[in-house]
Structure 1
Amino acid sequence: MTPQHIPVENLDLGPYLRTGDTVVWGQACAEPLTLVEALVRQRARFGTLRCFLGIQFAGTIVPEHADHLRLVSYCGTGANRALAKAGVLDIYPGHYSTLPWLVSCGPLRADVVFVQCAALGGGRYSLGLADDYLTAAIAAARVVIAEVSDQVPATPGARYLTHADIDVIVETSRPPIESATPSGDEVTARIAENVAGLIDDGATLQFGIGALPELILRQLKDRRHLGIHSGLMNDAAVDLVECGAVTGERKTTDVGKSVCAMLIGTRRLFRAAHRSQAVELHPATHTHNPGVLAVQNRFTAINSAIEVDLTGQVNAEIAGGTYVGAVGGAADFLRAAAHSLGGLPIVALPSTAGTRSRIVAELSGPVSTARADAGIFVTEHGIADLRGLPLSERRRRMIELAHPDHRALLAAGVL
């Protein structure tokens, strides 16, 4: 069946949305802006809709939209922080690997999906900048509406859409949202140096969002035979591919390919991914699959935290009483790295946030990653490998990672 083509100026969601529907759309740089903006403008027509949000960079959804939209997310990242602070964002505190199940046959099964695409010709479309949980949502949805833009890269992937997958096409020429990473500071640079020193030739890398992962990657240009199997690709990863540090030739699966669930970066990244022979988009069922991850050669998982206690428990979700992070894929990746031959399960973070220690005797938020999954912790003050250590030795090693001003208080159990 041929999809219905609707001009942007005539975009009316009324025929496709029903009161009570769950609407899912692409996250981060893959947000289909035209479609989400139309939903916001027309929301009062549909009674109540439930919207599953991923990472928000554009801030299209704001607290005032909760008058008719019930907002649910797995994260408080980006513009979601304002929603969480306003008390209008409900959080699903699950592992990232469960998101495809959640939106395909779980409690947040998608009724309507908005997706941003690039036309490939012949009735085929690339998912462009994200697959993650979209493939699963599209398979479950009653209606799929595609925003097809000539500004979106045609990124090779495990899945392409055809006319059989799409009900409505809206053609635009809007460029994707860009996400430039902050440059970082001296503390971040020292942490990055400590982490980079752990990574050997031939490792398969996973990394997250932010200045620290970018700085770590920028210090790996002298390595060789690296691979990437990650939730995301960023601008710094492109540099590693182009300088020859990343070849993927020693990966166990997807040999020669840098695999990710989404692209988060700038036009430099988007241009590099367009019809690339080196980068592929895959769903989270592959990028976060424990069996696929654990067999990777020297799988090196680099994740972050809001705070860590002296036993290795990680809070990656709540800071100052506000939901700002996520459970995310950390446990998926850290467990896999622990089982990978030569793997490194790394959690890296600054030792302080302002004057407050981020190495603490007791977490102020939930346990996002259990101490049973604790691996290697890195701050600007050093490296602590907790693998196989009893609690008493863990305490000593973690106190050494804290800022010197806080070590005595931590030893006394005050902080």
Structure 2
Amino acid sequence: MPRELRRFIRPGDGVLPGQACAEPQTLVEALVEQRAWYPGASVFLGVNYSGIVRPEHADSLRLASYCGIGHNRALADAGVLGIHPVPYSRLGPMIRSGAIRCDVVLVQVSRPNSRGEYSLGLAADYLIPALETARAVIGEANDQVPWTRAEKFLRREDFALVVETSRAPAAPPPAKPGALEAAIARHAAAFIPEGATLEFGIGTLPDAVCSALVGRKGLKIHSGMIGDGAAGLLRNGIAKGADCALLIGTRKLFDFARDNPAIRLRSCEYTHDAGVLARIQSFIAINSAVEVDLAGRANSEVARGSYVGAVGGAPDFTHAANRSQGGLSLLLIPSNRIVGALAGPVTLPETDAGIVVTELGAADLRGCDLRERARLLAAIAAPEARAALERREGSQSNRRL
């Protein structure tokens, strides 16, 4: 049945598949295999764990993404991936306006329940605006995908084509937190009060914070994504419920999410909406970055010349947390990522700097001038880099004076 894909995709069409663990892998395999039938079609990729789309597929397809995460890094390094450097809150409106073209959406769904409802399974995300915009919806009904509580369900008549499969969802590389991650998590947890609403950025460090929150009560989760750590907070009664756009993790997370009313999959137009976020009190944004400079600016996009990250949701959530009553922004990085000057773009400006946390401690930059920020950040930087950082700041301070 995947051979029928070419019946629904036309030359020059915009095709949008689900991302990360929600990627419809069988459909994406058919998409690239049949690409000669629809030359000039554009494909908007999100987080890419499967690696099915490769640089050579750009011979017929135009590839774009908002991120370099996973195998997208290889596409970016090969010069075949166009990057949209925009906050995550812009993706939904861009899909609806046609700035990100979506004529055909490829979506992984669960098998239908007794009412004939297919669940979006592991992501609602920007699939919601895509489903409401696309000319054709093609589904991969995977019996290894849980039926979850999403804000939109599909019925058989909503699909132009449904392919039934049974395969493990795409998954991030296994990453077990070590001593460094545990130390950063302990320092970060000290700033999280009971009753707070938490946001977790993608990656090992934000997820590791969950293990340091034992004993907290009444937490809530409002996040772009949740992983195994957040599921543990819900399972152990530390958090009451989660509104999120997508699930990224292991089978343990997926099994816990199955028909679980505590996990509500929402459109990114809800999870990242400024108006929604403005109504949340004690909102704590927990994110990581590639590097942070002495002014508190963060680069979350480029490492060693490669586009490896994203603008993503960090600007949306950090901005909201800094303005939430009782809220704050936590930016988690290893100490050797505090640098004198960023080697990549400014993803988070100094105007949104909050609390930077490394394994050596925390630097609360709120209310600090540039000289004080530099002193606090140098104190939690890698010891071997402190002297150079302090000399650099001294030189910059003299020039500012």
TM above 0.5, yes or no, is yes
Report the equivalent of 1:251.
Answer: none
Contact 2:206 / 2:332 at 8 angstroms: preserved in 1? no
After superposing the two structures, state which structure 1 stretch, 53-62 or 156-165, moved more: 156-165
Q: Which moved more, 1:172-181 or 1:80-89?
A: 172-181
1:231-276: CA deviation from partner (whole Å, max 9, x where unpaired): 11111111111111111xxxxxxxxx31110001111111111110
1:338 counterpart = 2:322: yes
Matched, 1:76 2:55: no
Tell me if structure 2 keeps the 8 A contact 1:273–1:279.
yes
1:124-173 per-residue CA deviation (whole Å, 9 max, x = no partner) reads: 21110001100101111111101112221111011112345322211222
Amino acid at match of 1:62: R
Deviation at 1:22, TM superposition (A): 0.9
**Counterpart position of 2:15:** 23
Match of 1:137 among 130, 142, 157: 130
- Matches of 2:320 and 2:120, distance apart in 1: 27
- Find the aligned partners of 1:121 and 1:63 in 2 and give their Cα distance: 42
Structure-2 residue corresponding to 1:62: 54
Which residue of 194, 203, 209 maps to 1:201? 194
Q: Is the 8 A contact 2:45 2:63 kept in 1?
A: yes
Instruction: Give the equivalent residue in structure 2 for 1:183.
Output: 176
Q: In the TM superposition, what are the counterparts of 1:176-255 in structure 2 within 5 Å?
A: 176-179=169-172, 181-247=174-240
Quick one: which of 348, 370, 378 aligns to 1:399? 378
Q: Is the 8 A contact 1:178 1:267 kept in 2?
A: no
Q: 1:412 is aligned with what amino acid?
A: R
Say whether the 8 Å CA contact 2:95–2:129 is kept in structure 1.
yes
TM-score, normalised by the number of residues in structure 1:
0.92
- Is 1:408 the counterpart of 2:390? The answer is no
Structure 2: how far apart are the matches of 1:178 and 1:372?
35
Counterpart of 1:277 in structure 2 is 261
Give yes or no for the alignment of 1:290 onto 2:300: no
The separation in 1 between residues aligned to 2:369 and 2:29, in whole angstroms, is: 53
On the 8 A contact 2:203/2:288 being kept in 1, the answer is: no
Q: Output the CA distance in 2 between the equivalents of 1:210 and 1:183.
A: 11
Please say if residues 309 and 360 of structure 1, whose CA atoms lie closer than 8 Å, have aligned partners that are also in contact: yes
Alignment match, 2:295? 311
Q: Distance in 2 between matches of 1:178 and 1:70?
A: 24
Gaps of 5+ in 1: 1-6, 248-256, 353-357
CA distance in 1, matches of 2:53, 2:298: 29
Task: Tell me how far apart the structure 2 counterparts of residues 178 and 306 of structure 1 sit (CA, whole Å).
Answer: 22
Cα distance per residue 1:205-230 (max 9 Å; x no partner): 11122221222101112111111111
1:146 aligns with 2:125: no
Bigger mean CA offset, 160-169 vs 398-407: 160-169
Tell me if the contact between 1:351 and 1:402 (Cα under 8 Å) persists in the aligned partners: yes
Letter in 2 for 1:157: A
Residue deviations 1:73-102, cap 9 Å, x none?
000001111111111111000000111112
Q: Offset at 1:123?
A: 3.5
Cα distance in 1 for residues equivalent to 2:198 and 2:391: 37
Letter in 2 for 1:377: V
Q: Do 1:52 and 1:72's aligned partners in 2 also have CA atoms closer than 8 Å? A: yes
1:124 aligned residue (117, 124, 128): 117
After the TM superposition, which residues 349-360 of structure 1 pair with which residues of structure 2 at under 5 Å, given as runs? 349-352=333-336, 358-360=337-339
**1:34-53 matched pairs, under 5 angstroms:** 34-53=26-45
Aligned letter for 1:32?
Answer: P
Question: How many angstroms apart in 1 are the aligned matches of 2:295 and 2:245?
Answer: 32
Match of 1:171?
164
- Which of 24, 33, 44 is 1:32 aligned to? 24
**Partner of residue 353, structure 2:** 374
CA RMSD of aligned residues (A): 1.5
CA distance in 2, matches of 1:404, 1:110: 49
* Aligned-partner Cα distance in 2 for 1:259–1:181: 25
The 5-angstrom pairing of residues 102-117 of structure 1 reads: 102-117=94-109
Number of residue equivalences: 393
Identity %: 50
Please say if residues 181 and 265 of structure 1, whose CA atoms lie closer than 8 Å, have aligned partners that are also in contact.
no
Choose between structure 1 and 2: higher helix proportion: 2
> Residue in 1 aligned with 2:399?
none
